[in-house]
Amino acid sequence: MARLTVKTVDGWPVMEPLGARVDDLLKRDMAPGERVLGQVIGSHGQAVVATDRKVLVVRTGMMTGQTFGGKATSFDYRNLVGVEVRTGWAMGEFEIVDSKESPNGLVFNNQDARHFDAMAAKIREMTGAAHSAGTAVRPQPAAPATPSIPDHIRALAELHAVGILNDDEFAAKKAELLARM
Residues of the domain holding 82: 5-144
Query: How many domains does the chain divide into?
Result: 2
Asked if residue 73 and residue 140 are part of one domain, the reply reads yes
Asked if residue 14 and residue 102 are part of one domain, the reply reads yes
Asked if residue 104 and residue 155 are part of one domain, the reply reads no
Asked if residue 128 and residue 181 are part of one domain, the reply reads no
Average pLDDT over residues 3-31: 86
- For residue 114, give the nearest of 11, 18, 20 by alpha carbon: 11
Asked if residue 174 and residue 95 are part of one domain, the reply reads no
Average pLDDT over residues 5-15: 88
- 73-77, 116-120, 166-170, 177-181: least confidently modelled range: 177-181
Predicted structure pTM score: 0.65
Q: CB within 8 A of 143, min separation 6: which ones?
A: 81, 82, 97
Asked if residue 88 and residue 173 are part of one domain, the reply reads no
